[in-house]
Amino acid sequence: IGAYELTRRLGEGEFAAVYECKRAADGPDGKRYAVKAINKAKVQRHSSILKSKRNIRRVNLEVAAMRRFRHGGICQLYDVVQSNSFVYLVMEMGERDLFTFLDDHPEGCPEPVVKQVMRILALGLRHCHNAGVAHRDIKPENILVVGDPLTWAGADDRAGIVKLCDFGLCASVHDGAMLNDFVGSPGFFAPELMIRRQYDGPLADAWSMGAVMVEMLLGHRAFDSLWCPPYEHLHDVSAFSRGIREAVSRAKLGSAETPPSEPVRRLLEMLLQVEPERRANVEEVCGAKWFDL
């Protein structure tokens, strides 16, 4: 594809596949990139013309948003290559995603590691929101991890030890525009998407950030058993609302062996407010004393 050679397949989604690639001119030891190959036919192929146009708008917005971002906590877009059948987004390559990283921490991560990840995630997300973009699908699979916690102590915030990626569901939120389409991933989308007709995209992102923090603190297994059951009630708003409030209360207590410290508990309190009017925005989160920003 243009100046790049695909070297291996990394994953696949509804409209796109992700590959590792390199510049042909750089030789076998050249820098590696990730390339998202968006299939134009799949984007446009839909029984509903409205949904087809919506999908096209989302691809265009993803490209436009990533071209605007310049932050160490966001995956960098280097190039866009077009063919008759595909749009190729050539991006920064991550070593693994946060979900895979958490496989090595079945009982949850130590608070210093959680602090480092959430600090960069907050800074990157603030950059998105200041640019008028809500991500709307924040989850461990969409956060790339760079390096190892042992190397993070002296890391510069501008370099980014984690990087927010996959803006395929992002939305423009200039001038406080409210959103009304239901997107996101079970376990991570904000409660108001179930309960209200309209919602604030950046505040929904703040909730998702809190859910990521819960999974980092508890580990996969405890997160799945404590946090995710309410999301099984997608057709019962009252059961979902009741369940998510109970899950929030339990998550703030942590496990019996490792209850959260006071700074962690306060940050969870800021992010995990079921009523979005009471929830902190990411600018306020960046001001949390725990982050020392």
36 is in an annotated binding site: yes
The phi and psi torsions of 105 (rounded to 5 degrees) equal -135, 65
| CA 89 from centroid of its chain's CA atoms | 18
Cα–Cα separations (whole angstroms), residue 166 to 17, 30, 36, 65? 12, 24, 9, 11
Residues facing residue 36 across a β-bridge: 18, 89
Nearest to 161 by CA among 251, 85, 101: 101
- Among the listed residues 97, 103, 104, 137, the single catalytic one is 137
The three-state secondary structure class of 232 is helix
Is residue 137 annotated as part of the catalytic site, yes or no?
yes
| Residue 156 Cα distances to 149, 153, 197, 254, angstroms | 13, 9, 41, 30
- Find the Cα–Cα–Cα–Cα dihedral 145, 150, 152, 155, rounded to 10°: -130
CA 57/CA 49 separation, integer angstroms: 12
Binding residues for ATP: 36
* Active site (catalytic) residues: 137
